[in-house]
């Protein structure tokens, strides 16, 4: 899925026929966002994803990046 210039992989799945559906979003850095709740249908899971994007934007799934370390010129790290 792509929106606002951000791309994510959307995974809606279930283990067996009788289980509820799970929702996971994976960003381009490989960071996974797994919903704690389960859903009675694929449509319900997709609706939860859509509501999150409408409220927070697709950038929400790209805001949890690894920290950046700055090394200054002419300095030695000990």
* Separation CA 17–CA 22 (nearest Å): 13
- Structural contact between residues 70 and 15, judged by C-beta atoms closer than 8 angstroms: no
Burial 30-61 (b: 16+ CB within 10 A, else e): eeeeebeeebeeeeebbebbeebbeeeebebb
**What pLDDT tens digit does each residue of the chain (78 aa) get?**
656 677 888 999 998 877 899 999 888 888 888 889 999 999 999 999 999 888 888 877 776 554 444 444 443 333
């Amino acid at each position: 899925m792509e929106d606002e210039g951000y791309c994510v992989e959307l995974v809606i799945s279930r283990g067996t026929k009788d289980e509820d559906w799970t929702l996971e979003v994976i960003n381009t850095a490989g960071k996974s966002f797994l919903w704690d709740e389960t859903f009675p249908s694929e449509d319900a899971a997709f609706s939860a994803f859509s509501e999150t994007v409408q409220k927070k934007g697709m950038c929400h799934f790209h805001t949890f990046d690894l920290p950046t370390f700055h090394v200054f010129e002419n300095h030695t790290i000990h």
